[in-house]
Amino acid sequence: MRAIVQKVNLSLPYCDAKTANDILLGFKPPLDAPPRVGDILDVDLLTLDQEQTITNVSQDQEYRIAIKSIDLHDLRLTASHGASRFPSVERRMEGDTI
């Protein structure tokens, strides 16, 4: 699935990216060649809590990262105390266009 980089903070370090169907993912970016805001990433939202290879389509680079399940959020679900915003498998497979 494709996601657009929304934030990059190398001092913490973390990166946020959002898919066209409003799923937000966070991950630790590689420090040697970090993505930039606006870059398009090709990620597998079904492979969580383990390393995977993602492609930065904008920079024609590949990264080895881990997307933790706690860092995946469905922005279409309402936020409330104690509620999970973890996207279903169907939502994580839905749509692939940006």
- Is 90 exceeded by the pLDDT of residue 78? no
- pLDDT at position 10 is 95
Quick check: is 38 in a domain?
A: yes
- Is 90 exceeded by the pLDDT of residue 70? yes
Domain residues for 53? Answer: 2-93
Lowest mean pLDDT among 6-10, 49-53, 74-78: 74-78
Decide: 20 and 6 in contact? Cβ < 8 Å.
no
Quick check: is 39 in a domain?
A: yes
Quick check: is 89 in a domain?
A: yes
Beta bridge partners of 75: none
Longest dimension (CA), the chain: 40
The tally of domains found in the chain comes to 1
Q: Mind listing the pLDDT tens digit for each residue in 16-26? A: 999 999 999 99
Quick check: is 70 in a domain?
A: yes
- pLDDT at position 98 is 55
Q: What is the share, in percent, of the chain residues with pLDDT greater than 90?
A: 83
Quick check: is 23 in a domain?
A: yes
Average model confidence (pLDDT) across the chain: 92
Q: Which runs of consecutive H residues, i.e. helices, occur in the chain?
A: 89-93
Quick check: is 21 in a domain?
A: yes
Residue found under tokens 């105390």? 81
Decide: 5 and 16 in contact? Cβ < 8 Å.
yes
pTM: 0.88
CB burial readout 71-97, b (16+ within 10 A) else e: bbbbeeeeeeeeeeeebeeebbeeeee
- pLDDT at position 65 is 95
Quick check: is 98 in a domain?
A: no
